[in-house]
Structure 1
Amino acid sequence: MTSPTILPAAPARAPAGRRNMTLLVQLRWIAVGGQLATIGIVSGPMGISLPGAPLLAAITVLIAINFASIALLRRGRAVTNAELTAVLLFDVAALGWQLHHSGGLGNPFASLFLLQVVIGAILLTPRSSWAIVVAALAALAALRADPTPLVLPPAYAADPMELYLQGSFVCFLLIAVLLVAFVTRISRNLRDSDAALAASRQRAAEEDHIVRMGLLASGAAHELGTPLSTLSVLIGDWKAAPRLAKDREMQEDLADMDAAVQRCKAIVSGILMSAGEARGEAPQLTTMRAAFNEIVSHTRAVRRPDTVEFNDRFGADVAIVSDPALRQVIGNVLDNAAEVSPDWTSFTTSRDGDMLVIEIADRGPGFTREMLENFGQPYRSTKGRPGGGLGLFLLVNVLRKLGGGASVSNRDEGGALVRIFLPISSLARDDGETA
């Protein structure tokens, strides 16, 4: 059973103006195709004479507007409300021009102005929407001034109302289909926007949580510095005391105590160093393989060395800038795996194109269904300790900052598997040097 992969932070969706302009371009291509088909059917099988030059000129203008809109979208900047209003006004003018040369208000397709009004009301600001309404009313008023009448063949001249009703039906069908397609697309865009906003709020909440934890951790690290230094001095004094110097068992215990204090001091130093950005405040130049070995060596130092299996399949080494935060969260995952599976833990590194892939496996109880479904959220832990479950949460957020991600699953043979992937470019030195 595998959880959905936690991907890098998704790039922001295109701004609403760009999405709306793209939608208008698509609708305009549909309009151009429909107008060409209508002209072909009316002047062909129906035998109604149409002024081809003015009608095709309007279609040419619509095509030019589409190409201009596409060029605007390719510039990559946001599309403003004024630009959306301008292209819709061109659409109103083109429709008015075509109707003027094909019967004026007597043309049943005059109802298409309503479609443009509805589109304007949905996409534009209230003031711009009313501007489209005024433009449509002005176009309708202009159609009363000497429009070019349609010359009907004898088959339709006897009952022109029948032809008008047929055209009205086709116009209604066209408006209904386009409105359904348009509103459905807008609704999907709104749902996507709401989902993106919810994800952004979730990320903001998680980052705020991380900031608060970082402040608490750095504060605790500062507070712990003094007592740890005091303990280190006292242990040194005890080791040099004449009465204890000859006690071999006590000297071994004091050496273990000193090693434990030094490790605590190293952890505190690491917290202080990585309390800022993901790269820390004191980056070090190293190689990918050296960083792997350091992580594994640290785990082997606190566990039995023969229980941590290291499979190095990365290939050619790469010079990188050491990332204290990344090293720490990966080490935490490896420590957690070794804690639930003290007899065997696997740390495998490989390369998939430009991605670093790390797999940490164990033979422990595996992840519960709840943890698989809520992977990456804080305080989700199988250990039942208050405040637990922060390791994977920190891992996901550090990887997200570096453009990577992670996934978790349960192994078929038992135990858990954490898979980490990270762009090598996010760690590699700028000069691209290969060690």
Structure 2
Amino acid sequence: MMEPAVCGEPTEPAAPPPLLAQLRAWLAAWLTDERTARELVDYGRVGHYTLALTRWVAIIGQLFTVLFVHFSIGIALPLVPLLAAIAASALVNLVLLWVLGWRARLSERAAAGMFVFDLAQLALLLGLTGGIQNPFVVLLLVPVGIAAGLLGRTFTATVTALGLLVASLLAADPLPLPWFTGGLVFPELYRFAAWAALSTAILLIAVYTYQFAEEARHRAEALAATRLALAREQELAALGGQAAAAAHMLGSPLGTIAVVAKELVNALPADHPLREEANEILDQVHRCREILKTLGPRRAGSEVDRLVRAPLSATLRDIADEFGRAGISTEVRVDSPDGTPEPCLALPPDIRHAIANLVDNAIQFATSRVDILVSSSHERLLVAIRDDGPGFSPDILDWIGEPYLSTRHDRGGLGLGIFIANTLLARTGGKLHFGNTGRGAEVRIEWPAGALERAVEEREHDGGHD
């Protein structure tokens, strides 16, 4: 029995792990390495458990079909190579379970490799039993369809191309289809038609499945991003509630200090050296009370509200200055066709954030200038943001505002900023319109007359209720 090591004494180096354990660790790292590819969790949250279970179902189905056709129906099949191919699939599944377990999340590369193996194994089974003439050739659609729903564009294209290659090889010079009389060879025209139908099905299923899955993923992620933006807004509201509660709780001790300080002022003679300090304490208490009023719930029209209210054009000017970029000039203009004054209000954080997204987008794309127009009338309120950049591509004008539709992929844009802005502005009654002016892009935000003011006032009244 080995004696425990004493502190300060040299210890024997740990023995290296067995070769089998090293191999297992290396395979696990290769199959789940996040640095080599996007994880499968990003494509529908499917892990190794689902794929392994699907393969076991396929293995059982293949084994049952081969044995049933050979022994029950009486059609002679090449059992040895067929059973060897099925056993190889089972062995691969067992090895993956040994390496990864059931709960592992595969890298996209590893998942694509599993689909490639499935296609190769199916190609061997079908090649030994008639090729394109075998009615079970439609099973080639299964790995292609699943891959299109789970993988990204590059690996989906790879698996689809391999599926088309397998279909072509199975149609090129197939072995006879096993039959009671020995073997059947279908006419060449039939084999060509079967190949054309199968190839078309592979392409259509891959394209449509990928498009639908990609749209569903983008919708889900965009919804999550919108929920995150709204959650941040709720956190700000909760923080305001905590500040109001703190202001209320501090009111009592400040009141006590004010009473004591006032009594000291009244009790001390005018020439007493402490009277001036008592007056200073009383002044500071009054100042603290004024500060706490700004943290408490606000009513529309309150003194604090009037302090933070500003003309909409001034708020837009502040936003433009905040997101300004060297070499880009910004100008904010006010227009009132019928003399209606622009609104003077305090924009809530989420609405300001939505408008700031649009202004920032214009500044990022502008060549030298961004113009912001505020136009108010008795019918509507308009904010137009124009830049002198390349403008919007005509191909995407009708789709701008959809999640993950961006004109600046080279700059890392995902289109979520406009999507979130559209969602937040719609809650105030605003509508976004996108277009080109001939010398750049234009984004127009339109509200019915008074809609933005009413939305802001509702927020203020809701925040003012205890």
TM-score between the two structures when normalised by the length of structure 2: 0.37
Relative contact order: is structure 1 or structure 2 higher (C-alpha 8 Å, sep ≥ 6)?
Answer: 1
TM-score between the two structures when normalised by the length of structure 1: 0.40
